[in-house]
Structures are given as structure tokens and as C-alpha cells.
Amino acid sequence: MLSEATDPAQPLPLTRSSVLAAKKTISHLIHCTPALTSSSLSGSLPGKNRLFFKAENFQKGGAFKFRGASYSLSCLTPQELAKGVCTHSSGNHAGALALAAQQRGVKCYVVMPSNSAQPKVDAVRSYGASITFCEPNAPARAATLAAVQAQTGATFIPPYDAVNTILGQGTALLELVEQVPEKLAAVVAPVGGGGLLAGTALAADGTGIRIFGAEPAGADDCARGLEEGKRLPDVDAHTIADGLRTPVGVLNFPIIQEKVEKVITVTDEEIIEAMRLMWERMKIVVEPSGATAFAAVRSKQFQELGIQGPIGIIISGGNVDLSKPLPWAHVPPE
């Protein structure tokens, strides 16, 4: 079985300086996404904290994953690039890697579960990737990817549990700090596999910014693992936030354990309400996973911390299947 916690080339150390180096490497490849504000949403909080939303839903591919994919490809040798790249993913990482590979003229092979959402399959295919479908379980995914890798010689680019992926994702926080006119008191990022949250924590190291994670209550392995003092390798996920249904990674967990103050858990109802407010007040397309950090900021658990000053919120993505009713819509039975 392939290990998630591997990198194709000798990686940089997991430090803030390495995130800075990653930003310099990929700045010409990615969008510097805007930092949005909303006086309405800021004013709705008990503490009236000014909120700055890092809009990674405007990133290439519609999610922050393009950062890690771009940096991972930038670290490959010409010989490795010539053989192509491969990964397993049912969602945003698949599209991000396919698009990053297309930009470089590199072949991309993606293993996707047979139950993947059709819009995400269509997106990966439109970026020129070769898709191999497998049964929707971890053993089938690993076995199929191993077969694809053996046949093609392509380099595996992990979705979250790899040094270069983590460093690439951390560049979003560096941009946010540059965009905000005052020092942030705290930043909240969603956590599934943990690449974004771990990268954010590394990027904030030594800045004095308090870092928090946001996790669905129906997939709360990271929050429970922090309470128990050990990584929980399995997650029985039941949440609308499909991008956060993975267990936190081997490399990511100790970074989160050391540098993240707390992981806030929120219900699907809280996520849906946060998502609705962002669509309604900010007029932007946000997926459930992308609304989870805002849901956490609105929660009683977070508000009781009494944080004073501006708060950064990372919107992780905006890839929504618009052929289906939005989660807050009440569709009458046929």
C-alpha cells in the first residue's frame, strides 16, 4: 500500500521559512485570492470582530488545493515530470492536480471512486487527466493507484499528508496577512486531512496570530485526537462537508497538536446556516467545507474565548453541484 506521508523529492523542513519559499516559487502560477469583508456578518457577532474572508473559492480549480498541487509539481525533477503524476481523490485535489499538470503539459492520472460527483469527474476530465474508477473504499483506492503507478511510472502526489502539499497550502495565510490592513488576532481554517490547517499554523508561527481549526461534528477525529493526545487513524464520517471526511494526516497531526490552539466542532446545521449567510450576504458561491470555518467563528464555543480584534477566515473552496438543491432549500416531495 502506498504511504500518504511521502514526498517525491527531498523536501524542505516544515517551517515558516519553507512556506515563504513555497510562496515565492508558486506566486506566478496561482491566483492571489481576495480578502473579502462583510460589515453585516462582522456586526452579527457578539464581539463585533471585523472578519476577513480569504476567498480560496476564487482560486484556480475553485479551491485552495491548487496551491499544494502547484508547489508539489514545482519540486519534481524533469525526469519525474516526463513520466507524469498520479493521485487518488474524489474531489478538489483531483481537479487541482489535473489543472496544475495541464498548465505544465504533464500527464496526470487520477483514481476516483465510482460514486464521485459527476461535476467533479467532468472537471477532472476537462483538465485532460486520465481517470481510473475504483470501488469507494480505501483498500480499492490504494490498490488501483498502485496499479496505475506501476503501469505509468507516474509520481504520487498525496492530497494532504506530504511536506510539499502542506507548505503549498500555507501560502494562503501569508497572502492574507499581507492583505489585511491591521494585525489579525486569530485565523480559523477548516480541517479534514489537515494540510490547510497545518500549513496555516506553520505560516503563522512566530507572528502572534492565534490559529484555530474548524471541523464537522460528524467527522471530528482531529478534535477527539487532540483531546486524547494521539492521532485517530480512522473516521466514520457523517457530514455534509464532503471535503472534510478524511482522517487527519500523519504529518499534519503533530503540527496541529503543537501549533493550533483548538479545533472547534460544528454541526451540519451550523455549517448550512453559515453557508446560507455567505451566499446571501456576500453573494459568493461557497461549498459546505468552505463555510465550516465561518460556522466555527459563529459558534458559542468560539465566542466564549472572547477574542478581541480582527479574525481571518479561510474559505477553502466553492465547488458546489448546482444540479442539486442547495442544502437550505426545502424541496416539496414529488
Sign of CA dihedral 159, 224, 199, 215: positive
DSSP-assigned letters across all residues of 207-250:
S--EEEEEEEGGG-HHHHHHHHTS---------S-GGG-SPPPT
Tell me the β-bridge partners of 187: 211, 312
Active-site residue identified among 90, 116, 289, 316 = 90
Active-site residue identified among 23, 65, 107, 120 = 65
Place of cell 475504483: 134
Q: For residues 264 and 213, is the Cβ–Cβ distance under 8 A?
A: yes
Q: Which of 134, 143, 113 is nearest to 2 (CA)?
A: 143
For residues 171 and 210, what is the distance between their CA atoms, to the nearest angstrom? 17
Cell numbers for 282, please give them. 456576500
Please state, in angstroms and as integers, the Cα–Cα distance from residue 220 to each residue in 126, 254, 263, following that order. Answer: 33, 16, 9
Q: Strands 108-113, 85-88: parallel, antiparallel or unpaired by DSSP?
A: parallel
Q: For residues 13 and 140, is the Cβ–Cβ distance under 8 A?
A: no
Q: For residues 54 and 313, is the Cβ–Cβ distance under 8 A?
A: yes
Q: Which helix (H) or strand (E) holds 85?
A: strand 85-88
Q: What is the DSSP letter of 46?
A: T
Q: For residues 141 and 91, is the Cβ–Cβ distance under 8 A?
A: no
90 catalytic? Reply is: yes
User: Catalytic residues, which ones?
Assistant: 65, 90
